[in-house]
Chain A
């Protein structure tokens, strides 16, 4: 607990310095929501604003998506946890962000808690990535060693028979309301319009038919293959709690195995689905 307070203090101080020096136009971080357990994304634009910043175990929301609203050429600071920093790296690879526009306030955040379930999410999402892969200021002690593989949570689904797995996803995806919180919360889902909003072609029914929802999610899984950085925003944002992160994580694992590259780790990488290597083999089609 004290660790979070410590981080919060450093965050406020760092934000103030950056704003005071005029180094950044705004600091994208968290502020108080309607109570302590529900912090909200918050943009501090003045030194006085910086006093409103908070950081605690409920600050799970990956803020990187908000960067897409900032015009290029204006310097912005943003709080990034492990997975969030990977989102930044991935978006730089995709030429959606420019490194020179960003001041990254890295937080090695472990013990983060899902606001709805109260459970610690470290092993669930975040890809086992506690320390930011890229940051300018580190607001806290780096934490090393992970107890289990980030893919451990996939085990139960992997050992399931295919029919059970189908049933599992059928149950989950049929709950989908098509509120599109998953894509709107996802920092990688920057497409405007999304393929789902297209009328030519209409990839899936606009009405919430089961087949349309399956088409939406399978295609979205594909669009995020090799790009998902496992922040878990999609799943935590879902009002009906569909564990989308499991599917994304599975494909992240597959991409890592097949193409030897994890999403958002190095700025100089090229996203795996718009790349190939001469050494690629048909093994991947097996």
Chain B
């Protein structure tokens, strides 16, 4: 059987989560490997969530927020961008494939962009194969 990656998404309520809803309302199709956690703002995301997601066996982690400048809370995603940039550097220097972690700004109106990003990211992660480096071995 083909490798089907597990992708964990964390999206902000106001832009990316709403954008994902729009993708649904417009009946766009994209792969179902993504499971999303909703938070109020991308600035709520603690980099440790990302490390944890990989430990829980995520093959890829996708973060979605409002476009910088459009944050519902004004400046949240400006901080989030710096934090997630460092998160990416940490994962990369630890030796994880950089392609497994992505941050995308997707507004509430960009349903098709959401579908595109998920499609593209899923394919990319599929290409990287199963993530075994951080995954905690668990015989469940």
Determine direct contact between A and B, CB below 8 Å: yes
Q: List A residues at the B interface (Cβ < 8 Å).
A: 157, 162-170, 195, 203, 211, 214-215, 218-219, 221-222, 225-226, 247, 250-251, 254-255, 258-259, 272-276, 280, 282, 284-285
CB of B42 to closest CB in A, whole Å: 12
CA A255 – CA B83 in complex, angstroms?
11
Please state if A219 and B47 are interface contacts (CB–CB under 8 Å): yes
Which B residues touch A170, using CB under 8 A?
A: 95, 133
Please state if A276 and B90 are interface contacts (CB–CB under 8 Å): no
Is B48 in contact with chain A by the CB < 8 A criterion?
A: yes
CA A33 – CA B32 in complex, angstroms?
63
Which B residues touch A168, using CB under 8 A?
A: 95
CB of A160 to closest CB in B, whole Å: 8
CA A3 – CA B139 in complex, angstroms?
61
Which A residues touch B133, using CB under 8 A?
A: 166, 170
Which A residues touch B93, using CB under 8 A?
A: 157, 165, 247, 250-251
Is B89 in contact with chain A by the CB < 8 A criterion?
A: yes
Within the complex, which residue of B52, B85, B97, B136 is in contact with A284, where a contact is CB–CB below 8 Å?
B85
Please state if A169 and B82 are interface contacts (CB–CB under 8 Å): no
CB of B61 to closest CB in A, whole Å: 13
Is B117 in contact with chain A by the CB < 8 A criterion?
A: no
Please state if A215 and B52 are interface contacts (CB–CB under 8 Å): yes
Please state if B84 and A285 are interface contacts (CB–CB under 8 Å): yes
CB of B70 to closest CB in A, whole Å: 14
Nearest-CB residue, chain B, relative to A211: B136
Given contacts A218-B51, A222-B87, A285-B103, contact A167 B95 (CB under 8 A): yes
Name the residue among B47, B94, B103 with the largest chain A CB count within 10 angstroms.
B94
Please state if A276 and B75 are interface contacts (CB–CB under 8 Å): yes
Please state if A219 and B48 are interface contacts (CB–CB under 8 Å): yes
Please state if B95 and A222 are interface contacts (CB–CB under 8 Å): no
Sample of 9 A–B contacts (CB below 8 Å): A162-B92, A211-B136, A218-B47, A219-B47, A247-B94, A250-B93, A272-B82, A280-B78, A285-B88
Would you give the 0/1 interface string for B11-46, flagging 1 where the beta carbon is closer than 8 Å to chain A? 000000000000000000000000000000000000
Nearest first, the 4 A-B pairs at minimum CB distance are: A166-B95, A165-B95, A284-B85, A276-B78
